[in-house]
Amino acid sequence: MEKRARLPGMGRLESFSDAVLAIVLTLLVLELLPDGAQSPEQLLQDWPTYLAFVTAFLTVGVVWLNHNQAVSRIRRADPTVQVLNLGVLLGASLMPWPTALISAALQDGDRPAQIAAIFVFAIVTVLISVPWLALDLYLIRHRALLTSSSDESWMRKHAQVSAATIVAAGVSVALAFISPLASLILYALVVAVFLVVRLKESVTDPDD
Amino acid sequence: MEKRARLPGMGRLESFSDAVLAIVLTLLVLELLPDGAQSPEQLLQDWPTYLAFVTAFLTVGVVWLNHNQAVSRIRRADPTVQVLNLGVLLGASLMPWPTALISAALQDGDRPAQIAAIFVFAIVTVLISVPWLALDLYLIRHRALLTSSSDESWMRKHAQVSAATIVAAGVSVALAFISPLASLILYALVVAVFLVVRLKESVTDPDD
Amino acid sequence: MEKRARLPGMGRLESFSDAVLAIVLTLLVLELLPDGAQSPEQLLQDWPTYLAFVTAFLTVGVVWLNHNQAVSRIRRADPTVQVLNLGVLLGASLMPWPTALISAALQDGDRPAQIAAIFVFAIVTVLISVPWLALDLYLIRHRALLTSSSDESWMRKHAQVSAATIVAAGVSVALAFISPLASLILYALVVAVFLVVRLKESVTDPDD
Amino acid sequence: MEKRARLPGMGRLESFSDAVLAIVLTLLVLELLPDGAQSPEQLLQDWPTYLAFVTAFLTVGVVWLNHNQAVSRIRRADPTVQVLNLGVLLGASLMPWPTALISAALQDGDRPAQIAAIFVFAIVTVLISVPWLALDLYLIRHRALLTSSSDESWMRKHAQVSAATIVAAGVSVALAFISPLASLILYALVVAVFLVVRLKESVTDPDD
């Protein structure tokens, strides 16, 4: 299973994507910044903000871990790869928006506002997953862009993950009509499953 | 067509420019952050913000794609290259400003406010394009700074693109007097054309 | 004392962590941005904000210095290392939150608000230290992930520092019931001690 | 004039510093973001904000250009270099603060508020220059940290620039008592002189 060397342009795609994802992660804290002094009671009442923060942070964190793995298997970023990657980043850069909507809606919004906030979270998830699915499928059909032949099966597996994420987004919207909070917890659970799967890959993927 | 090796200073110019462009892309989401819980109706009424966000994101994305290509052809960043690049970044870093102006003006501004917002977008486009045009022309006259002789024709082509962008900015202001929304859509269309052209370069530019 | 070469994935872990920490450092200034023109008296009354800014900046700065040293001793980032590192970054990305709370509480909050703000600072410190302690212990048990055998003793020393930080966080909360300001100054002192220790390592750690 | 190879730790110091400076540059735009739709008259009245933005952007830009040159001459970052560099970054990260103060004070502040805003700009300039002067002097006394013997004279020259900047900060405060606007323009002029000097170095410093 020979490995082909990666070309220089990849480094810049990686560092640019890293920068965007790092900034998104760090901008999530803006939602927590207070308007003035906060009493202990006010801080406790803010729990939906904390839950939304952790869910969004781990979601973007999982995007980074997967992006890390995906990009390490690409040896050349042709324009299609660059544009589809830009699409993934567009979706990821939107993440602070539903996070703020959910936290505001769970604190002082009515049921329609809460459902709408979960709907925006689902749309952003889809905006991340659709270009990524397109990227996976493009790379499967253009093997010369990958570093080794084993990467193709990884891309197939990731395409299934992307498709499953789109389905999960639909389920989360349906669930929001019963309980918006349950929808948010569903996202947190999906992310937790991703992290556990990733940790188990420790042994099987020694060269990452 | 021999290639000259790039010098170490280029890496830092690249990563610094990438960081600035990545942050600009990510700060655009600030315009979307809500003041409190949003009803579904309020979210739908925000469509000008979404249109302005997508146009601005894709504009900065295209700047990144072009910057990527341009810098990969420069082998040494002399002070003139550094200062002109700083000029391009100054323009790009302003992008969240007209984006916020347009989104506010289309939502609750009168016609003069909408025209003024498009005018600021046009000025920012010019502030990106003028130093870039200067950079293109400087590099054409200082071929020793380029990695190969074929880069000169690329720079000539890009100088035409920069000049065309300045003309398009002027047209967008004229169009704004008829319809500010049409002006914004013109920007989105120009960016879409750029992206399609870039995708078609996939075949002809195998070493990027 | 042979050194094992580091694998490519480390570069991306480093640059991603650097980006997150750099953004956190730079977002701290948001707390200082005024609502309108400020009289000299208003600027002087803002001293708690300045103290909180400097303490938070130096705290994140020390996190960066330690992260720098820690990561230079890791030769391969397996998924566990990546996930635990993400945990450290989650804690660090929260730092602007207690900084804003402390500055607001010291300016116009009552005693309970001030104690709560110090409590949040302590929690964020713990959220940084616990995954880092776990990372130290994981690396001590998986020496193959380290670049040389001498790194194990460094990790043991850092594990003690992480544990001591968790104890200090507890002390700071207890102290806050006597004087919240004294608690903030305690943090500043701990950070100052870290910086002096680091400066003294100049001689003993020539290969960093 | 032999060159000594730079050690790996330098790359991380560079990229971290670049990230901080890039974020500072990009956060300056926050001051321009409007509260709602802006009439053409309101946009024109905002000229002090634009002047403050350009001055601050070019100031941080010049810091980046100088930092670029300085760091390319350091081959090893010992803890003292790291801590002093962190001091330079602390100063630079504060830049959005006086920028916002000056823009607010010139628009709706009285004379004392304007003088105070210039005073804060001067303090931030000093906070950048003092650790940098210390870094210059430290490197002059520890030549083994430099890449070549010619770097010592560069550091001496830069130490003079740092000292001159501190003097200029003092002059700007004195001038502010006559005219705060003149003080701001003084900063813009100093930065312009820096840029011209840097452009002239094009020929004499071919290996940067």
At B66-100, the pLDDT tens digits run 998 888 899 888 889 999 999 999 999 999 999 99
**Ranges in chain D, pLDDT < 70:** 1-3, 8, 202-208
Alpha helices by DSSP H, listed for chain C, are 9-27, 40-45, 47-72, 79-93, 96-108, 111-141, 151-178, 180-204
The yes/no answer to whether this complex scores an ipTM above 0.90 is no
Alpha-carbon dihedral angle through residues C92, C96, C99, C101, given to the nearest 10 degrees: -120
Of B6, B15, B18, which to mutate for an interface test with A (greatest number of A Cβ within 10 Å)?
B18
Residue D21: which of D83, D71, D77, D94 has the closest Cα?
Answer: D94
At D80-130, the pLDDT tens digits run 999 999 999 999 999 999 999 999 999 888 999 999 999 999 999 999 999
Average pLDDT, chain A: 89
Q: What are phi and psi of C205, to 5 degrees?
A: -125, 70
- Is B68 within 8 Å of A9 when comparing Cβ atoms? yes
Q: What are phi and psi of C74, to 5 degrees?
A: -100, 130
pLDDT for position C77? 87
Q: Is A194 on the interface with C (CB under 8 A)?
A: no
Which residues, 6+ apart, have CB-to-CB distance to A164 below 8 Å?
Answer: none
Of A74, A81, A94, A145, which to mutate for an interface test with B (greatest number of B Cβ within 10 Å)?
A94
Q: Is B33 on the interface with D (CB under 8 A)?
A: no
- Is B94 within 8 Å of D198 when comparing Cβ atoms? no
At A88-101, the pLDDT tens digits run 999 999 999 999 99
DSSP lists the bridge partners of residue A146 as: A74
- Is A16 within 8 Å of B22 when comparing Cβ atoms? yes
Q: How far apart are CA B166 and CA B159, in angstroms?
A: 11
| C175: pLDDT strictly greater than 60 | yes
Residue whose entry in the numeric block shows the structure tokens 């002109």? B84
pLDDT for position B205? 47
Query: How many residue contacts between C and D have a Cβ separation below 8 Å?
Result: 111
Q: Is D83 on the interface with C (CB under 8 A)?
A: yes
Q: How far apart are CA A192 and CA D122, in angstroms?
A: 49
Buried-exposed string D154-185: b where 16+ CB fall within 10 A, e elsewhere: bbeebbebbeebbebbeebeebbeeebbebbe
Average pLDDT, chain D: 89
B199 or C29: whose pLDDT is higher?
Answer: C29
pLDDT for position D206? 46
pLDDT for position C150? 82
**Ranges in chain B, pLDDT < 70:** 1-3, 8, 202-208
C116 closest CB neighbour out of A32, A43, A208: A43
Residue C66: which of C142, C141, C118, C135 has the closest Cα?
Answer: C135
- Is D8 within 8 Å of C72 when comparing Cβ atoms? yes
Query: In this prediction, what percent of chain D has a pLDDT beyond 70?
Result: 94
State the smallest CA–CA distance between residue B36 and chain A in angstroms. 5
Q: How far apart are CA D193 and CA A95, in angstroms?
A: 43
At A101-132, the pLDDT tens digits run 999 999 888 999 999 999 999 999 999 999 99
Average pLDDT, chain C: 89
